[in-house]
């Protein structure tokens, strides 16, 4: 019988996909956003989905799932991210959602609890929230370890560091996670070169591939498909389009002539991630909200498509996102990279 998992704050299902890839069965998920919930349900059809806020769930919602082996959770990270200081404070109502996995663990008593968040949770004034979560888990009876892992070391073509709290009957040693590292670090080219050429505002969702798969990564994510979905690109105005051609690979807004940046009150204060053109022969920077940040395709003068972002996150091409283009972009960019989740959960699986 496969190891059963529950996924809290599931989003589109990055953690759940990692669980599936490590041989686990996703039994139940909780997600309040209806678009992400729809995406989850259409990709995990055998799982039960509760479409409401995790903090509003009670013991009744988890009836029949007592003793499930693994409880996973990716609570909202806005309150702990260092990229937005306006939300990184004690008044943010999302802060206490971090403690929900411990509350649910008391109800169902899983063998392992896996909580994922941003590394900023362990920095400065936010560290007290991490310490309180680990204390809650220890008081339930778990042995707790905390790890910061860069996805690029686990077969993901993206420099994306995440923090994992692992709670179970024994501590997970760092060397165990190091044993799952990949020798070859994947690049953006490995991820997306076989996908179709697109234009700004591309609006045909399903298209054939441009070429045969050209890397282990593209081959594994593509499978036996001849076409896939997600080839949608944000439509930009002419002022934005004019800026793209001035930016080299690894460049950003600072490469744009000042005469083309006059719509900004003070362009010198732009974040370094704005108008960043990805480099083909290296990993991507953190995707996050790739539409808002104006992340640019390595050689085409446009933003990333949903499928390109999904590939960089290591979602397989059969995985389909639901909702408007903006909702799909948010789901793809916010997810835990499935290959990173697989590495962590395979370690947990070895302990069961």
Query: Residue 289 has what pLDDT?
Result: 83
The SS3 call for residue 160 is: coil
Cα angle value 129/347/318 (rounded, 5°) = 95
Q: At what angle do helices 306-313 and 325-334 cross, to 10 degrees?
A: 10
pLDDT tens-digit profile of 338-349? Answer: 999 999 999 999
pLDDT tens-digit profile of 62-101? Answer: 999 998 999 999 998 776 665 655 655 566 777 899 999 9
Say if residue 19's pLDDT is above 60. Answer: yes
Pairing mode of beta strands 207-208, 70-73: unpaired
Report whether 244 contacts 225 (CB < 8 A): no
Say if residue 9's pLDDT is above 90. Answer: yes
Q: Across the strands, what pairs with 277?
A: 296
* Structure confidence at residue 288 as a pLDDT band (50, 70, 90): confident
- Active-site annotation holds for 270: no
Integer Rg of the chain from CA: 20
The SS3 call for residue 112 is: strand
Expressed in angstroms, the distance from the first to the final Cα of the chain is 12
Report whether 317 contacts 221 (CB < 8 A): yes
pTM for the model? 0.94
pLDDT tens-digit profile of 149-198? Answer: 999 999 999 999 999 999 999 999 999 999 999 989 999 999 999 999 99
Q: Which of 77, 186, 228, 270 is catalytic?
A: 77
Report whether 34 contacts 3 (CB < 8 A): no
Q: How far is Cα 213 from Cα 147, in angstroms, rounded to an integer?
A: 34
Query: Residue 95 has what pLDDT?
Result: 85
Residue 8 phi, psi (nearest 5): -95, 145
Residue 4 phi, psi (nearest 5): -95, 145
Q: How far is Cα 144 from Cα 169, in angstroms, rounded to an integer?
A: 9
Q: How far is Cα 333 from Cα 5, in angstroms, rounded to an integer?
A: 23
Say if residue 18's pLDDT is above 90. Answer: yes
Domains in the chain: ranges and CATH: 4-184+337-351 (3.40.50.150)
Sheet of strand 70-73, all strands in order from the earlier edge strand to the far edge: 48-50, 25-30, 4-8, 70-73, 112-117, 161-168, 143-150
Say if residue 272's pLDDT is above 90. Answer: no
Q: How far is Cα 159 from Cα 149, in angstroms, rounded to an integer?
A: 10
Q: How far is Cα 202 from Cα 233, in angstroms, rounded to an integer?
A: 5
DSSP state for residue 79 in the 8-state scheme: T
Work out the number of other CB atoms within 10 angstroms of the CB of residue 167: 28
């Amino acid at each position: 019988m496969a190891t059963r998992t529950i996924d809290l704050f599931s989003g589109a299902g990055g953690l759940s996909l990692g669980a599936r890839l490590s041989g686990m069965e996703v039994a139940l998920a909780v997600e309040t956003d209806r678009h992400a919930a729809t995406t989850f349900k259409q990709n995990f059809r055998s799982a039960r989905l509760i479409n409401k806020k995790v903090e509003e769930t009670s013991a009744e919602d988890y009836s029949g799932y007592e003793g499930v082996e693994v409880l996973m959770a990716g609570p909202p990270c806005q309150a702990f991210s260092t990229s937005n200081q306006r939300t990184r404070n004690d008044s943010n109502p999302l802060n206490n959602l971090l403690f929900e996995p411990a509350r649910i663990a008391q109800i169902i008593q899983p063998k392992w609890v896996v909580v994922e968040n941003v590394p900023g949770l362990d920095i400065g004034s936010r560290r007290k929230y991490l310490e309180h979560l680990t204390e809650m888990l220890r008081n339930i009876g778990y042995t707790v370890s905390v790890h910061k892992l860069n996805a690029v070391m686990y077969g993901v073509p993206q420099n994306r560091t995440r923090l994992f709290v692992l709670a179970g009957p024994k501590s997970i040693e760092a060397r165990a996670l190091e044993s799952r590292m990949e020798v070859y670090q994947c690049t953006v080219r490995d991820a997306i070169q076989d996908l179709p050429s697109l234009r700004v505002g591309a609006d045909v969702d399903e298209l054939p591939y441009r070429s045969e798969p050209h890397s282990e990564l593209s081959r594994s994510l593509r499978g036996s498909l001849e076409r896939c979905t997600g080839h949608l690109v944000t439509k930009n105005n002419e002022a934005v389009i004019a800026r793209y051609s001035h930016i080299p690979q690894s460049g950003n807004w600072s490469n744009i002539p000042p005469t083309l940046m006059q719509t900004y009150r003070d362009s010198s204060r732009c974040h370094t991630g704005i108008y960043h053109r990805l480099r083909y022969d290296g990993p991507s920077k953190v995707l996050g909200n790739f539409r808002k940040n104006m992340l640019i395709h390595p050689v085409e003068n446009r933003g990333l498509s949903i499928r390109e972002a999904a590939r960089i996150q290591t979602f397989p091409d059969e995985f389909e996102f639901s909702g408007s283009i903006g909702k799909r972009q948010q789901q793809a960019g916010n997810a835990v990279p499935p290959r990173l989740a697989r590495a962590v959960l395979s370690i947990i699986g070895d302990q069961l």
